[in-house]
Amino acid sequence: MTSNNPSVFLVMVNGQIESANFPEYDDLYCKYCFVYGHDWAPTSGLEEGISQITSKGRDSSQRLVWNFPLDITFKSTNPFGWPQIVVSVYGPDAFGNDVVRGYGAVHIPLTPGRHTRTIPMFVPESTSRLQKFTSWLMGRRPEYTDPKVVAQGEGREVTRVRSQGFVTLQFNIVTKDMKKLGYDTTSTEQVSPPQ
Amino acid sequence: MATSSDLREKLRNKRRALQESLGKVKDDTQALVPYDSDATKESDHTAVEELTSRGDDPGEALRRSLKAQRMKKKKKLVEEMSMEIPPEEEVVKAEVTTVQELQFEQEELSEDTSAEGARSARLQRDLPPLPVLRANSSLSESSMRQRVTEKLIVAKSIASRKMKQEASQEPPSRLQSLRDRELLTRFDREADPDLHEAEPSFAARVKFQDAARRAIRDKRGETGLPTAEEAYNFFTFNFDPEPQERRSKGQTKTRSRRREGEDQEDELDQEEEEEEEETEMEREQEGEEESRDRDEDAPLVRDEEEDLFIIDQSAQDFLEVKKSEYIGYNRRVLREREILFTPSMRAVPASSKLPENVQPRYPEEEGLYVGERPPVTLSNQNILENRILKQDQGKKWFGDDGRIMALPDPIKESSSRPPLYHLEEELDPALQTVYRKALKSKYVNRYIAGVGDTQGDYQLDVDVSGLIFSHHPLFSREHVLGARLAQLYDQYLSRQHKNLTCLLTDKLNGLRNTIRNMLELHSGEGISHVTQHRIAEYKQEVRHTRQLRDSEQEKDRTLLKSIIKVWKELKALREFQGFTNTPYKLYIRKEEVQRALDEREQEAEILAEVAELKAESEEDYERKMSEYRRQLEEWKSWRRKQKALKKKQKKRRQQSQDVNEEEDEGEQSEEELGEEPVKPEAPEKPDIAGLEQQVREKACRIRRKPGEPVLVPELTASSPVTPNEQCPRGEFARREDAAKCSLFIKVLYNDKEVSRTDSRSLNADFRVHFGQIFNLKIVNWPESIKLQIYESVSSFSSLLAEVCVPIPESSVLTGSAPSEELEFSSNQRVTFNHEGVGSDVPFSFAADGSNRQTLLTSGKLSCCVSWAVGDDDVPLAPPSSQSGADMHSGLRQMDAIACIGASGLNDMKRLGKWAAESRLDPNDPNNASIMQLLSVASGGEVAIPDYFRLEQLQEEFNFLSDEELQRSRRFRLLRLRSQEVAEFRHFKTIPATEREISEKVFEDYERRLKEGELVDTKEHIDAHRALVAKYLQKVRESVINRFLIAKHHYILSDLVVEEEVPSIGVLGLNLFKLAEPKRPLKPRRKERKKVTAQNLSDGDIKLLLNIIRGYDIPIRKPHTSKPAAAAKSARSYTETFTATASSQTALQGNDWPLGQPVIRPFVEVTFQRTVLQTSTAEGPNPCWNEELVLPFSAPNGDYSTSNLQAVRDEVFINIFDEVLHEVVEDERERGSTVHTRIERHWLGSIKIPFSTIYLQSRIDGTFKVATPPVLLGYSKEQSLGSEGGYDAIRSLSEGTFLTLFITIEPQLVPGDTIREKMKDVKFDTQEVERLLLACEIFEKDASQRFPDRPCLTTVVDINGKSVFITRFIRPLAPPKELLDAFPNNLQEATELVARYVSLIPFLPDSVSFAGICDLWSTCDQFLTLLAGDEEEHAVLLCNYFLSMGKKAWLIIGTAIPEGATAYVLTQEQNRYLIWNPSTGQYYGQYDTFCPLQTIGCLVNADNVWFNIQVYAAPMRMSFDVTKPKFWKPFFSRSFPDPGLSSVQPEELVYRRIDKAAAAELQDRIEKVLREKIMEWRPRHPTRWNRYCTATLRQFLPKLELSGGREMAEEHRLELQSLLGDYRISGFPLHLPFSEIRPIIEAVYSTGVHNVETPNVEFALAVYVYPYPSNVLSVWVYIASLVRTR
């Protein structure tokens, strides 16, 4: 692996899904998965995960804290299709049905270092008011066929969404051999200071 | 005088002394006394007294403060007794009579002292003096000032007494007050009463307050001196801002007095503290409390003995004990009452609202009009009135009637505006809204675009450098001449600079030389016409130039002459007037010339000119002569005519005698000829001699005489100007005036003055230098820049002239712009009575007053307007394109451009053309710029390309050149992947570097590309097939491209899962479900969860096959039962034996009647080369009930929907018979050892394409097993006895059946969205819109009512166009050969036709056009392609049937195992037959084994009927389409058939049968199969039995003829007779031919090659029977033979 001519570069991601801010909902849990291009392959770590259910704190910030760890390493030959993390949040509605509370995706930061990302979350809207009512009544809200849809642009034009809240993620990125393969992700001045 | 430092020092000392000894009070005082040397003796004395008498701490404090005050103020005291007065109150002070004050104070003094004396019962006593005082003051009517003083004194006395009391009796309370002082500011009076309310005197004081109030009111009413009031106001303002109101209302003074007393006390306390601080504080205190100081000082100064006995501090001062503060409720209420005012709601008596003794007057009663007041509630009104009454001058708010003044209610009862809308009418025309077009403000355009955001981006610099007067009213005569001289000299200089004469002379010489050269060149020889012409032109040019030069020379000379003349005049004038005004001095330099040379030159010049002139005049003469001759000729001819005419007339005259007539005629003739032309005169010969004379005269007029020196004038300003003193009076006055005169210039931008220069005085030489630059930041477009010259004489300025400055073009920038001189003049008439010549006034230089001149004020303004340059060298000019005027001014300099137009400037060609045409003088400096431009243009440096490039910079942005991109393997791989090329679509992790990619990656792909072009005949065997395959491929590609958009077209359901809105029915069902038992007794199969085929990988998907049971499997046939086999008894014996043996092992033998061999069938499933088999069952109707799990892997690991649909793999389900052969090598071992060999004999197979399973998601049913027509060694004959009824039913159908359940685990979502997408992507269509709409409605309705019944109205043809389905149905004749085969038997012919159709290879659309949709091809296309799926087969079959005169329909329905499919329905005499077009089988309507499960709709050429019956199974429905209850027609009365033409051809053209090709193919297939079989048996030798093969080959044509039926028995017998020695097992396979691969596959699946007996031999025969149009029927007979002996 210490050869001077590496054939792949590695991106190590660890971090956590820290917390969420959903002003109206409580008792939420989240799922995450990664979406990446053809040239990417996870070498170790979990590609998908589901968190515990968390309730709102009593403090004024009303945050939902998961502190759900992420730890995955990707290898790739091509930065195209840079991995994105897709987070979907679920929780019970008024009737106790488990419904989706938000989808969101963000690219894993490109530069090494510590990054904090806040993803705005959204859910697909019902097609009509009647639908909305029945879905509310029956606890079967519209969902994406695949949460990974939110990481791609194709076909999004047919959907309507409503924004829901925010999820804060924290990433620590370590890359290897990127520069050797000619991909310079650090800015010319210096690595962005930790936030 | 005590300074502040003194004071501090004193205080320090004092404290020190205090600390040293509290007891030695006296010493202290004594020690203090010397310090107070500047204090009055009296005060000192009193201080001592006080000390002796009291010596209290408070006393000391008071004393100290007072002393300090005194020392401070001492200086200001006007007199000893009066208080010091701050400077601003001098006025007040002045009004107070000192005398009065003195008296008063003395009185008080006495009183106070008495008070001091009687200290007991102080509190009671402190009041009594006041009334006395009050009375006193009121009586004496003294000023306010006095009263105040009294008050203060009283207060002081109270305070001092109290203090004393406190000090003596209860020191803690004293301290408390101190502490209070700290807490409260001086102005917080509220807190103070608390301190004293505890005093028992409170009630008494209140009483007194009332009395005092009354007294004051009275007093004020009577006297109210303004001074007093002012003084009082002063007090109130400075002292207590809060109780103002009370005072203004004339409230108690006692209270304030008391408060003042407290104040004083407070003050003292405070001062006690403050004194310890900096003097600064003291000064501040002084400023703030001057008034109080006064109060305090008043008694201090007078009552010394009182004030000064409080001197020293005691220890108690440093200790504070304080009670907790509590304010009682009552007290608070009281206090609030003092501050707050709650207006009463009760009505105010009228008397209080009106001036006293005035009765309310009611104007209404007096008959005056009073408007109605606006309604106000009475209570509110009362509140308001009460409130107003509390105010100053409150009464002015009340009217005469005692009510608040109010305007009448302004609200009118009715609207005063005319009604806009009438009920019926339109809007009043006058009120109609009229649309006016928006007008553009003329100022809009004047704003420079974008100036808003970049404020001040544009800046004009106006540089006004100076002014020179060429004439000014104050000019003296000398000045006039001087100015003229200067002007002339300037002119001279500029001419000199241009040097036109010289230039023109040179040009002239040049031209002459050219002409000479030309003439020499051609020296007399025939000069060409062109040359001649040019010479003429040159000559013309010479003449012109000469004239120009002459005039220039003349001008030069006159100029020189006039300069000299003016100079002479000037000199004369100077002499005449005796002084010099101007510094001008003209020197004339003479340049000597060589006379001889000069003469020669001149002579030559003259000669040349003369010669030219001569030539010219000669030429002229020539021309004139020719003209003359011509005219003369004309004239002569006329004359001749005339003569002729006259002769004629003469003749006539002779002939006739009538004279009159003759005359008439003569006249007539004369008239005819017209008037006689004037006889031309010959031109004069030019006077050559005279010419020379003329030239010489002219030369001497305009030129220097030869030898005359060249005169060069030189003007200097060096002449001394006569000083003023030496000038006569007139001149002196003029100079005075001139000195007074000054000028300034206003700068006007867009007619607004923006700035002006400083005023500068006029110099003696009438020049003004300003040298000012104005930077104009502009927002508006520059329209005009004007400079106004103002002349001001002694503060009176007048406009002299106005100069307009051109707006500079944007290229004119500060720094580079040259200064311009702008001339101006004024027509003001100015006259002077001194030497000044004035303006517009005639004057004369001559003494006699002759030669009068009138001059107007004029001059030149030197200025420069340019655009500024910003800090970063950016010109602050607006873009020039916006201003056309600028453009014009810029081009003005080049008249060439003006000539060809501005557009020509860009057109070098035109410019060049113009230059050539106008023969631009290249030497002319005016043309230099153009010439340069032309040279550059012609030099090709500015070659303008003929083409236009859109993205000229694109190349720079390419990070690689295209070639490199092509060459790079990595990029190629990436691109191919993104293009979704099948091979690379799922290529993971393309290496990062080039070197890691081998060329091999592309090999497959490139080969495939090549294959597309080359037809691999070996693979396809038949060239035609290859072509078809290629064509299909192409169609497929084009269709894929067409549908690519559709593929990427998403609908909501693709992305979002959303519950359907439940209908009532569903809701009810759901409710019903609630009542369902949790664990029903008969559970139903639940729908499995469907999985999207996205995140799947190899091994995830499994194919589940549940093989339940089989029916009617052929059974082994014992040889013995046949008589033909008798001869071979030995063999049969063995056979029987084996059979018995096997049956014995199977323990079944007994079930079967007599010697009947059993069968041990098992099912083997082959899928993707995975082979699984069930256990072996027994008997012809076995029951396995076994589940087989086969793994599935998608090609390329791609589990996307489209790819899964394209999977071509088939599931082969084969039924084998397991045959056990006992292999006994040694008979002796028979008893102990069982040695058997297992052989498997293929009985039949079912193949189901994976795509069907995938699309259907499950296949459940009983299927017919494709069995070979002949199965050697097996028969289907059954014993009649066994299982009677059951067999009877089954015997109706022939063949073997297998009950299966196939599904995929997990269940995959089939790509059923394609159809929906198709609807979104509208196909091109030729159908009318109305029809399509109807189709849509029809299909929608159908799918709503019966979602499971397929309904088709429009289909997509091979070109991707929507076509209505009925257009495909048209009677088409089948090949003639088929009809001829059975001319008499329609039944047979029909079956043959069906067979023919079934022989056309089957190729499902969904496979060929993966992920797309069904494409329907027409019959001719189908026959050409020789590939199609159910639809094509069905359409063709239906069309054939129709042409054969049958009633036929196309059935759109679902069948097993195909899924959605198309069958054909025919109506025979009394029954309906259902035909499966892909097998050629037909079923009766009530056939249980008919694979058709549901019927959706029927189609024929005229209509489409949708099945609206309860059941869709063919068995349970009616096919009578005329019944609208059962069938819903598409075309009905409401929507009749528009008469759609068919898309099918008129007639099908069949290609002839090519037997030779078939034979060739036959050989080839046989060869390939042989090789394959040998290949499949790598470990065993494969022997071929030639004899058998030959025999089999003979059978095959027979089989073909019979259609594969009824042959078995005969066949077998024949075979057995031939091959008696062998145990033979084999069968013929019948296939339609498309490619060789399926044949191989089919052979492989039979497993014949798997026989591993060492002595096995094989026989293989292939027979290809050609049908018309290259439809081939392939028979493969394969058999394995085992020699039994």
Comparing alpha-carbon positions, the chain B residue that sits nearest to A35 is: B1095
Q: Is the pLDDT of residue B1278 over 80?
A: no
Beta bridge partners of B1299: B1109, B1262
- CB contacts < 8 A, A to B, total 86
Q: Where are the alpha helices (DSSP H) in B656-728?
A: 659-673, 688-702
**Cβ neighbour number for residue B1105 with a 10 Å cutoff:** 24
Q: Which residues of chain A neighbour B993 with C-beta distances below 8 Å?
A: 5, 7, 181
**Pair B1317, B1046: CB distance under 8 Å:** yes
Residues 6+ apart with CB under 8 A from B369: none
- As a whole-number percent, the residues of chain B with pLDDT over 70 amount to 60
Distance from CA of B1058 to the nearest CA of A (A): 4
Q: Is the pLDDT of residue B897 over 50?
A: no
Q: Which residues of chain B neighbour A130 with C-beta distances below 8 Å?
A: 1061
Pairing of strands B1354-1357, B1415-1416: parallel
State pLDDT tens for residues B744-754. Answer: 888 888 888 88
Structure-token match 């339609």, residue found: B1632
Pairing of strands B1324-1325, B1361-1364: parallel
Put the strands of the sheet holding B1361-1364 in their side by side order: B1324-1325, B1361-1364, B1354-1357, B1415-1416
Q: Is A166 on the interface with B (CB under 8 A)?
A: no
**Cβ neighbour number for residue B898 with a 10 Å cutoff:** 13
**Of the listed ranges A25-34, B32-41, B1354-1363, the one predicted with least confidence:** B32-41
pLDDT of residue B1482: 83
Q: Is A3 on the interface with B (CB under 8 A)?
A: no
In the chain, the amino acid numbered B1117 is K
**Cβ neighbour number for residue B396 with a 10 Å cutoff:** 10
Pairing of strands A113-124, A161-176: antiparallel
> In chain A, positions 85-114, which contact chain B (CB-CB < 8 Å)?
none
pLDDT of residue A65: 92
Decide: helix, strand or coil at residue B1042: helix
Distance from CA of A40 to the nearest CA of B (A): 6
**Of the listed ranges B199-203, B1184-1188, B1265-1269, B1439-1443, the one predicted with least confidence:** B199-203
Interface test with A, best of B1059, B1069, B1200, B1321 (most A CBs within 10 A): B1059
- How confident is residue B361, by pLDDT bands cut at 50, 70 and 90? confident
Comparing alpha-carbon positions, the chain A residue that sits nearest to B1052 is: A158
pLDDT of residue A121: 93
Of B992, B1052, B1061, the CB nearest to A181: B992
Of B1048, B1052, B1092, the CB nearest to A154: B1048
Q: Is the pLDDT of residue B312 over 60?
A: no
State pLDDT tens for residues B1041-1100. Answer: 666 666 666 777 777 877 777 667 777 777 777 776 777 777 766 666 666 555 566 667
Query: Which one has a higher pLDDT value, B343 or B956?
Result: B343
Distance from CA of A175 to the nearest CA of B (A): 16
**Cβ neighbour number for residue B370 with a 10 Å cutoff:** 14
**Cβ neighbour number for residue B576 with a 10 Å cutoff:** 12
Structure-token match 């404090």, residue found: B61
- Residues B641-663, mean pLDDT to the nearest whole number: 67
**Of the listed ranges B773-787, B822-836, B930-944, the one predicted with least confidence:** B930-944
CB contact under 8 A, A77 and B992: yes
Query: Which one has a higher pLDDT value, B618 or B1063?
Result: B618
**Pair B715, B585: CB distance under 8 Å:** yes
**Cβ neighbour number for residue B1096 with a 10 Å cutoff:** 19
Burial of B12 (0-12, 13-18, 19+ CB in 10 A): exposed
Separation in Å, CA B496 to CA B418, B499, B501, B587, B591? 85, 5, 9, 16, 15
pLDDT of residue B731: 78
**Pair B1255, B1315: CB distance under 8 Å:** no
**Pair B1190, B1168: CB distance under 8 Å:** yes
Which of B1677, B1612, B1666, B1607 is closest to B1642 using CA atoms? B1677
Report how far residue B766's alpha carbon sits from residue A37's, in angstroms, rounded to the nearest whole number: 88
Rg (CA), chain B: 69
CB contact under 8 A, A77 and B991: yes
Report how far residue B1317's alpha carbon sits from residue B1050's, in angstroms, rounded to the nearest whole number: 8
Put the strands of the sheet holding B1656-1667 in their side by side order: B1583-1584, B1656-1667, B1671-1683, B1622-1632
**Of the listed ranges B460-464, B805-809, B1404-1408, the one predicted with least confidence:** B1404-1408
CB contact under 8 A, A38 and B1050: no
State pLDDT tens for residues A25-81. Answer: 889 999 999 999 888 989 999 889 999 999 988 877 788 999 999 999 999 988 888
Phi, psi of B299 (to 5 degrees): -70, -30
Q: Is the pLDDT of residue B44 over 70?
A: no
**Of the listed ranges A153-157, B341-345, B356-360, B1370-1374, the one predicted with least confidence:** B356-360
pLDDT of residue B4: 52
**Pair B1573, B1660: CB distance under 8 Å:** yes
**Pair B128, B205: CB distance under 8 Å:** no
CB contact under 8 A, A134 and B1055: no
Of B996, B1048, B1055, the CB nearest to A7: B996
**Pair B1276, B1265: CB distance under 8 Å:** no
Report how far residue A121's alpha carbon sits from residue A167's, in angstroms, rounded to the nearest whole number: 7
- How confident is residue A152, by pLDDT bands cut at 50, 70 and 90? confident
SS3 content of chain A, % helix, strand, coil (to 5): 10, 50, 45
Indicate if ipTM > 0.85: no
Residues 6+ apart with CB under 8 A from A60: none
State pLDDT tens for residues B559-604. Answer: 888 888 888 888 888 887 777 777 778 787 777 777 788 778 777 8
Of A6, A39, A145, the CB nearest to B1054: A145
DSSP classification of residue B413: S
Report how far residue B61's alpha carbon sits from residue B271's, in angstroms, rounded to the nearest whole number: 8
- As a whole-number percent, the residues of chain B with pLDDT over 90 amount to 0
Q: Is A154 on the interface with B (CB under 8 A)?
A: yes
Find how far residue B1627's CA is from the centre of its chain.
Answer: 76
Find how far residue B979's CA is from the centre of its chain.
Answer: 31
In the chain, the amino acid numbered B1164 is E
CB contact under 8 A, B989 and A140: no
Decide: helix, strand or coil at residue B1486: coil
